[in-house]
Structure 1
Amino acid sequence: MMYWNNGMNGWGIGLMTVGMLLFWGLVAFGVVALVRYLGRSEQHRVAGPPPPSTPPPPTSSPERPTPERLFAERLARGEIDPDEYRSRLATLRGDGPPA
């Protein structure tokens, strides 16, 4: 008995075609993933750590503003008028309200 195509029928040819497409698709995906990974790690290597001239972040809480400074800021924002500013500042300092 003679066998033509070594017993390969329609299903064998179809599965072989699908298998080759999957293989080459995986190879292409691997190459793209590798290039993207190497490109990304190269960018991180070039950037490096920040230069030492940058100041370190504050470790303690910021200083609280003085009452005089708060009154000056409120006057600058227009929340109080100059007369009220002087009156409150004098009261704060213990001078009493201005005459």
Structure 2
Amino acid sequence: MSPVDDRIRSSTNAFRGGVHLHRGKELMTMMWYDTDWGWGGWALMTVGMVLFWVVVITAVVLAVRYLASPRGTAANPPGYGPTRAEDVLAERFARGEIDEDQYRRHLALIRENR
């Protein structure tokens, strides 16, 4: 057999599995084993798997954060209850930065403009 025949036989056996010749040596292969991708195939597969798991983990984290985020309920609908501005105003009043009259005026303005 010529070297060309060996390469043809080698490449067809690589897809079927079995015994074939590769660079003058007889090798036992499994299906799709000897496709000569070399390290490039491994690198591509590694990058692909890393990207796949990054996407899966990111999707799970975002889903958990979305489902666990506080949203309005029937007992506490959004737009009711203290807001961040009211909390800051109450803190300033508690520290003594503003007096009661200023606190009441600012609180009325905040609630009026909701």
Q: TM-score, normalised by structure 1?
A: 0.43
Higher strand share: 2
Give the structure with the larger helix fraction: 1
Quick check: which has more Rg, 1 or 2?
1
